[in-house]
Amino acid sequence: MNLTGIVTDEWNRLLAHCVDTGWKCVFSYDMFDKGIDYDLYILERPGEEIRFGWDNWFEGEIQCSPQMRTELEGLLGHQLEEGELSTLKSEVVEIVTGGRFK
């Protein structure tokens, strides 16, 4: 699922929830503009991956399974919007991660 248009506060809350519930961070963007212009986290747990992308134009995006979407929406108490990715496009992720992820 490609979830887009997530306001920054909610995006941060959902990211913290995943980390607090045992997801392992396997990639974290660490360039000079982290959290200012762009941010990216890739989290994993056995058999599943979730990606959190953010920029100051489109705010938050999350790429996750339908089951995880349901969990995240339950935490927020409202539905998240599906849309076209910008910060989590595969070519962007590939460049930002130095080819480690696509």
Q: Tens digit of pLDDT for each residue in 21-61?
A: 999 999 999 988 888 899 999 999 999 999 999 999 999 99
Give the pLDDT score at 35: 80
Longest dimension (CA), the chain: 36
Kindly indicate the confidence band of residue 80, based on its pLDDT and cuts at 50, 70 and 90.
very high
Mean pLDDT of 72-96: 97
Q: What is the pLDDT of residue 19?
A: 98
**The pLDDT of residue 32:** 85
Q: Which of 20, 15, 69, 65 is nearest to 40 (CA)?
A: 15
The Cα-based distances of 44 to 4, 18, 76, 95 in angstroms read: 20, 10, 21, 20
Q: What is the pLDDT of residue 71?
A: 97
Q: Give pLDDT, residue 20.
A: 98
